[in-house]
Chain A
Amino acid sequence: MTRALPAALLGVVVLAAIPLATRNSFFLHVCILVLMWTVLGAAWNVLGGFAGQVSFGHAALFAVGAYTTIILYLKCGLAPWWGIPLGGVAAALVSFPIGILCFRLRGPYFSLATLAVAEIIKLVALNWESVTAGSVGYLITSLPPVRLFGLNVNWESKTPFYTAAGALAVVALLATGWLRGSRLGAYLVAIRENEDAAEAVGIDTVRAKVVTLALSAFLAGMGGGFYAFYFRYVDPDAVAGISLSMEMVFIAVVGGLGTVAGPLIGAVFLTAVAEVVRGRFQTGHLIFYGLFMMLVIRFMPEGIWGRARRLTARAAAGE
């Protein structure tokens, strides 16, 4: 962690400087997307990259956060700085029964189970109309400006959203970095390397996985809460669909499983691809996500960042 400190500080400085350097609305929008996807990729990476548990159902956790936040705002007027963390908490709470159910399985069976659970949650979102408003969803029509810490926050500009997204991304990456250096992080490596051996040496593998999932869910849920406020519309297709789950997987895998910066790199790369492809289609970028996923698994399974680190390590050793 201390090795990466200079780079991290530089990153934060750049992050803070961007909205001061430009008022270009579109560019800021793209940056916001990158930051949001970084949070989601990091959330998935915590479980998939560090613990080695590949989930195809993370959209469900995102959705819980999105719905919680938007409902709390529309029904109780709860401001986003409360609503978004609460969205994260709600997702973490929901993750407990999911984990207890799904962690009884290993490997691909676990992945399939998460798929099924996510589809069930999407069905519930579609049909539990009294709570989720079904396929109609929730729409935020007005966000009146507020005062926070003596500053006027104007929701019409990109800046408050950029700041929020930036803060969430920093939190997500810090959490990942903390995890990597912690004892829990070491336990996760053990579980990934050999789960039976981990149990045999006294590691409570279920507890480790459940806690990691809760952290992952918390981050994903906060991402969902942010989504709700930024895009102002939440419905089952937008937030609980399988392609969203897959996008989270792709960002983490393409960026670099089990690394801290991987999700950021993945988010930058894939958002760039999406913007370039933006042309005709809303979901045309998914074609390329699928393609890049296949290319990465085939040629660079450790992801872009993983490969970069390997190359620099080799270069350093060769000198």
Chain B
Amino acid sequence: METLAQTLVSGVLTGALYAMIGIGLTVVFGVMRIINLAHGEMVMLGMFGAYWGHRLWKLDPFVSLLVWVPLMFVFGVFLYRFLLRRIIPGGELNTLLYTAGLSLLVANLALFAWTGDYRTIALSYGVSPVRPFGIAIAIPLAVAFVLAILITLALWLFLSRTDLGRAIRATSQNPEASVLMGIDVERVAMVTFGLGTALAGAAGILLAPSLYLYPTVGELLIVKCFVIVVLGGLGSVPGAIAGGILLGVAESLGAVYVSGAYKDGIGFVLFLAVLLYRPSGLFGAGK
């Protein structure tokens, strides 16, 4: 039987992983003012990277982070440099439509390559949960949670302590002034997009052992991602973290106390409510 504590804990753990998806998108928006509709597919690619790594090479998903995250970073840089860079000057809606096309392309290429069958990653240590204080926590979820925190910490250190990180924050706050200060805004954009993609991939890997995997999961994730990012304010990393946890808890509570079937709908309703009443986010951090 689910206790309130159990529900909350599950919500927070899942929420942290949702937050990771949101961070990638919000960082990209903050710097480049673009909404990347293909972000969900980047998460999906991370998920399947973890899956195939495990299936083909018996690589533990969490270890495969070391392999996939750098690759996804490079992939993101490539996407920006060769595809997106020419599109962005065409305007917000053009970019939105372009990333919509990219999303469809990637999702369906994956569908073609890997079929729509639902897949899972069966880990030996995923079978029985640990039970601290009587609350059941699946081990992969716990490990993912810890890693998510570490990655977020690393990101924070990067953004606040390194020159490049500061350049990213500066560009996010004021692109025109950044150019005047001698910041290579192009390079910042490229790195940021690579970073956003890498974070999406990482989120996918962390989530992979805990979810059913299928190529079109991006559809669902992208909307959840927008819920998170809009809740927290577009462009705000702390906002994305808070938004992710909020969504995770809301879904968890909703699934248990309202209705399991409409669980996903909770996020959508929350999303619409925020868009209409507090468009700058619950924490007022966004534009």
A and B touch in the complex (CB under 8 A): yes
Binds A, one of B45-53, B106-114, B126-134: B106-114
**Which of B86, B109, B262, B265 is close to A298, meaning CB atoms less than 8 Å apart?**
B86
Binds B, one of A28-36, A139-147, A268-276, A287-295: A287-295
**Which of A52, A117, A243, A294 is close to B102, meaning CB atoms less than 8 Å apart?**
A294
**Which of B35, B86, B265 is close to A120, meaning CB atoms less than 8 Å apart?**
B265
- Given A286-B108, A287-B105, A116 contacting B223 (CB threshold 8 A): yes
Which chain A positions have C-beta within 8 A of B83?
A: 294
A42 at interface by CB-CB < 8 Å? no
**Which of B108, B269, B271, B276 is close to A287, meaning CB atoms less than 8 Å apart?**
B108
**Which of A54, A280, A284, A294 is close to B101, meaning CB atoms less than 8 Å apart?**
A294
- B104/A112 in contact, CB under 8 A: no
**Which of B86, B97, B111, B261 is close to A54, meaning CB atoms less than 8 Å apart?**
B97
Among A281, A297, A298, chain B packs the most CB atoms within 10 A around the CB of A297
A106 vs chain B, min Cβ distance (A): 10
- B268/A119 in contact, CB under 8 A: yes
B63 at interface by CB-CB < 8 Å? no
A143, B98: Cα distance in complex, Å: 42
A243, B87: Cα distance in complex, Å: 22
Binds B, one of A150-158, A165-173, A216-224, A245-253: A245-253
Which chain B positions have C-beta within 8 A of A160?
A: none
B103 at interface by CB-CB < 8 Å? yes
A113, B269: Cα distance in complex, Å: 10
**Which of B93, B223, B269 is close to A108, meaning CB atoms less than 8 Å apart?**
B93
Which chain B positions have C-beta within 8 A of A182?
A: none
Please list 11 pairs of residues, one from A and one from B, whose beta carbons are closer than 8 Å in the complex, sorted by A's number: A105-B279, A123-B261, A123-B262, A126-B261, A280-B112, A284-B108, A286-B108, A287-B104, A290-B108, A291-B105, A298-B87
| Residues on B facing A (Cβ under 8 Å) | 35, 83, 86-87, 90, 92-94, 96-98, 100-109, 111-112, 219, 223, 226-227, 230, 261-262, 264-265, 268-269, 271-272, 275-276, 279
